[in-house]
Amino acid sequence: MARKPTPPGTPQSTSVGHIVDLVRGAVPPLHPAGLPFVLAPLGVAVLGRKRKWVRRGALTSAAACAAFFRHPHRVPPNRVGVVVAPADGEVALVDSAVPPSELDMGTEPLPRVSIFLSVLDVHVQRSPVGGEVTKVVHRPGQFLSADLADASEVNERNSMLLHTPEGHDVAVVQIAGLLARRIVCDAKVGDTLPIGDTYGLIRFGSRVDTYFPAGTTLLAERGQRTIGAETVIAQLP
């Protein structure tokens, strides 16, 4: 996270508060959904503090969960008509596909970009465009590896449809993976999300598909690494 610049000639502070600010700027905050996963092993570490292997194991688990549930600050672009990546990860597919049937977007293939999230990636999801949430539908399913093409059809998923002020419909689909057993979506029908706003999270390995209206120019490349809310993946018509 960037820090506010200080005017030239300002003496460098050595106070405790300055050090705390530096730490806050370097360490991303924790998503609220991760608090139970961090506090539980910390509690075990306190209870088992007299046993080195218990203490170390619990502290390692707490640190790993804190890293997984990190929620870094992002600054989305302000250009009109761009679509940003809804997640950190690797672009697995750049193609055309029929959107999930529960979104009622028709049966014709639409441009799609799929992003695969490993367990090491930031796992919060961000709105790819600014707009009104017109549909949110959760569908139970299987837990195949999220990098498989069939995962879009058969895995558990949560689909959200956004309607932009310019009149475009953009769908973003959270897909559970082999290790993912929980999809969180805080957005509700009627909400208005700014571009890049955090709206959900998938725990422990997953995939996020974005569907665009016909005529969209896809700018992502397969194998590309994306930064959620910042990497531009498409230009709307």
Would you state the structure tokens that stand for residue 46, as one six-digit string? 């306190």
Q: Is 206 a catalytic residue?
A: yes
Query: How many angstroms separate the CA atoms of 22 and 12, rounded?
Result: 12
Other CB atoms closer than 10 Å to residue 167's CB: what's the count? 9
106 φ, ψ (degrees, to nearest 5): 95, 180
Of residues 188, 190, 210, the one with CA closest to residue 199: 188
**Beta partners for residue 167, in sequence order:** none
Alpha helices in the chain (DSSP H): 16-26, 35-47, 52-68, 151-154
Amino acid identity of residue 168, one-letter, is H
Q: Return the active site residues.
A: 206
